[in-house]
Structure 1
Amino acid sequence: MAFQVLAINPGSTSTKVAWFHDDEEQWRETVRHDPDELAHFEAIADQFEFRLATIERAAFSHGSSFDKLSAVVGRGGLVDPIPGGTFAVDDTLLKRLRVGKPWEHASNLGGIIADAIARPRHIPAFIVDPVAVDEMNDIARITGFPELPKVSLAHALNIKATVRRAAKDLGREWNKLNVVVAHIGGGSTVCAHCQGRMVDLNSGNDFGPFSPERAGGLPAGDLARLCFSGKYSEKDLLRRLVGNGGMKAYLGTSDVREVKKRIESGDEEAKLVYEAMAYHFSKEIAAQAIAMSGDVDAILITGGVAYDSDFVALLQTRIQWIAPVLVYPGEDEMKALAEGALRVLRGEEQAQNYEQRVAGGGGRHDA
């Protein structure tokens, strides 16, 4: 039986839409939104009708009818901690997506819009592997400061999809592999993925290596003193940590390609920061191997920076003693979303119920 799936991925200033006939992508469109136009909406949730109309126009322009769909899948957003997988969008999940806490995020609109298209057509709507996926071992949550446990916020969609790709390449079952996955982009997630679960990770906004635009883990005492120095407001400092930190804070750009050009022209500072970023990622990859007691089948490098063969080579020099290194550049979120929906439609896995998984403790496990 053939299936047609619409995948929706709302970003802060864009809406990505893709139509799939089984595993084959029929068309894809990324609609860029003028920030000034979005500024008229008081809350992200208020953008619902605007974004829905954008998707309707995209489908119409490609001659596609929603009435032919088998399912609609949206990018999952900030919800309560849940295990990985494909979740059916029902009234309980819709209510949670509309809350937009602990902060608002455009990805929450993915499931809301998917339901709006699917419900009147009596077809399922799904979200897949949202950033709130939490499968960490409890031992990994302990930080040494009880008020500040480690929280699981990660690039779960791409991590899970990359593990499945690697398993296929290795001829193994994806939930029997032990791998370290390093998603390296503007932000980062370095994750110990042990037999189907993300048992530990660096939670890139707060821990681990600096990335092109995020500061990563910092000296706690000095950061505390900086908070009370009067130099920054809370908003300004948070923006320095996430958005204007990392490579950008040193070099004024988060574009690794620009940094490479500066290195080629003899910029020694650019070379040092670039190599330092690879050094810190290597350390985090080695640290995540500890979560699996060193029993690692492979190390998977993914995300936008994985296109940079020089950076990957710097990583390999330091980490290849742990396990073979496999490289999967970029992150095809639209395909990953469609694949999650198709697995349910084909009966390969069952759609999970949000309320039951949250009430049952989500994805949390003892070590």
Structure 2
Amino acid sequence: MKKYKIFVINPGSTSTKLALYENATCLLSTNVFHDSSVLIKFPKINDQLMYRMMVIQKFIEDNHVDLTGVDAVVGRGGSCYAVESGIYEVSDQLLQDTREAKGGLYHVSMLGVQLARMVADEYGGRVFMMDPPIVDELCDEARLTGVSGIYRKAVSHALNEKACAKHHARVMHQDYDQVNYIVCHIDGGISITAHRHGRMIDGNDAGGGEGPFTPTRMGSMAVTDMLLYFKDKSPEDIRKLCYEAGGLSSYFHTSDADVIHRMVDEGDEKATLVWQAMIYQIVKYIGAMSTALKGQVDAILLTGGLLRFDDITNTIRKDCGWIAPVYAYPGEFEQDAMAQGALRVLRGEEQLKEYTGKPVWSGFDWD
């Protein structure tokens, strides 16, 4: 059996994750943390490109990695027009639309395909994107807002949530296309999605500031409060609170959850209340997704880096266990999912999706 070399690049709001695979076996990986106090110095996300590229170059140099002849470079995608779930070859059009955030998502995942192309330009290999945050499977009722012509976007940690759901279905000898799950990605960003028979029919707009506040994101606020707070601030100030300067970072001037949770362990009153409020908001959104599934929930799945703190899982089990059994998968499935997706394409086991340069959903007939 031919051995394929696959390099995976996964930029997140607080980290850059890199991994080198031979077929489905991970040979080497790293997870480099970036504090919000550093990232906030870059005026725009695209300005972080060379900073993140230096992280990749250091990983290659420190580990004496030879990427010559790499078969595929997979970048976490985002910010292009909304797409169907699947794996895509990165075209010039996809790259341009991502760089220009044509899909309306302003999130660091947009650097993934740009970095992947830069690596492939130097070492070779095909460039892929898989299940980016703008995978759109919303039901029609979930699209509308209370303002005519303004529609909610599908923005979630689709890559990890889809992979986690499919993994759990295999473990439980279930068919992902026949069950209903609530899947929660809990890390620098937090997304909580309702999966009905293999489709993510609803969820918070995790890239637009909707949902629980997180280590870096402000979460949902009343419009009247936002108008008052932002009356003397720029659109860029608003964007920063939505993706890197809000949430725990706003309270503590750091998004380092280890530092903040240490304060909780030491009995700091403010840190304890803020941390518990974050979990409280997660629980509320799980409840909302249970109603989106009409109470027919087979399991609640938790995944993401913040599950290294047991109090998060324990609180969700206590408060949401009456809805459905709660299962925890700490960490993430993202790197494995991207590598395995590329491997299936390289072996001819899965067809590539074509990026059309148009959103998978563009409005109702009456628009």
Q: Map 1:108-187 to 2 at 5 A.
A: 108-115=110-117, 124-146=126-148, 148-187=150-189
Letter in 1 for 2:272: K
**What is the match of residue 220 of structure 1?**
223
**What is the match of residue 354 of structure 2?**
353
The answer for unaligned runs of 5 or more in structure 2 is: none
Aligned-residue sequence identity (percent) comes to 36
Q: Map 1:21-40 to 2 at 5 A.
A: 21-29=22-30
2:184 aligns to what SS in structure 1? strand
Deviations 1:219-265 (A, max 9, x none): 2222223333x3x3443344345433334444555444444433343
**What is the match of residue 3 of structure 1?**
4
Deviations 1:9-57 (A, max 9, x none): 3568976432211111112356789999xx9999938957993995598
Deviations 1:169-216 (A, max 9, x none): 212233333111111122210111222221111112432222233221
**What is the match of residue 95 of structure 2?**
94
Partners of 2:260 and 2:115 in 1: how far apart? Answer: 39
Partners of 2:174 and 2:24 in 1: how far apart? Answer: 21
1:354 aligns to what SS in structure 2? coil
1:150 aligns to what SS in structure 2? coil
Q: How many equivalent residue pairs?
A: 360
**What is the match of residue 208 of structure 1?**
211
**What is the match of residue 268 of structure 2?**
267
Partners of 2:306 and 2:55 in 1: how far apart? Answer: 33
2:267 aligns to what SS in structure 1? coil
**What is the match of residue 19 of structure 1?**
20
Partners of 2:186 and 2:209 in 1: how far apart? Answer: 15
- Residue 128 of structure 1 deviates from its aligned partner by 0.7
**What is the match of residue 309 of structure 1?**
310
**What is the match of residue 288 of structure 1?**
289
- Residue 167 of structure 1 deviates from its aligned partner by 1.6
Structure 1 window deviating more from structure 2 (139-148 vs 6-15): it is 6-15
Partners of 2:261 and 2:52 in 1: how far apart? Answer: 39
- Residue 285 of structure 1 deviates from its aligned partner by 0.4
Partners of 1:146 and 1:48 in 2: how far apart? Answer: 40
Partners of 1:350 and 1:222 in 2: how far apart? Answer: 47
The answer for unaligned runs of 5 or more in structure 1 is: none
Partners of 2:351 and 2:242 in 1: how far apart? Answer: 39
Assess, with a 3 A threshold, how the Cα gap between structure 1 residues 167 and 55 changes in structure 2: closer, same or farther: farther
Conserved? CA contact 2:81–2:359, under 8 Å: no
Assess, with a 3 A threshold, how the Cα gap between structure 1 residues 249 and 74 changes in structure 2: closer, same or farther: closer
Q: Does 1:197 align with 2:199?
A: yes
- Residue 7 of structure 1 deviates from its aligned partner by 1.5
Question: What is the TM-score when the length of structure 1 is the normalising length?
Answer: 0.82
**What is the match of residue 331 of structure 1?**
332
**What is the match of residue 239 of structure 1?**
240
Conserved? CA contact 2:84–2:360, under 8 Å: no
Partners of 1:11 and 1:168 in 2: how far apart? Answer: 27
Partners of 1:341 and 1:363 in 2: how far apart? Answer: 32
**What is the match of residue 73 of structure 1?**
74
Assess, with a 3 A threshold, how the Cα gap between structure 1 residues 164 and 362 changes in structure 2: closer, same or farther: farther
Partners of 1:141 and 1:11 in 2: how far apart? Answer: 26
1:312 aligns to what SS in structure 2? helix
Assess, with a 3 A threshold, how the Cα gap between structure 1 residues 21 and 8 changes in structure 2: closer, same or farther: same
Deviations 1:62-108 (A, max 9, x none): 353432x3322222121001012111223432342343444775544
Assess, with a 3 A threshold, how the Cα gap between structure 1 residues 333 and 43 changes in structure 2: closer, same or farther: closer
Partners of 2:42 and 2:322 in 1: how far apart? Answer: 53
Letter in 2 for 1:262: M
Q: CA RMSD in A?
A: 3.8
Partners of 2:184 and 2:353 in 1: how far apart? Answer: 27
Assess, with a 3 A threshold, how the Cα gap between structure 1 residues 206 and 49 changes in structure 2: closer, same or farther: closer
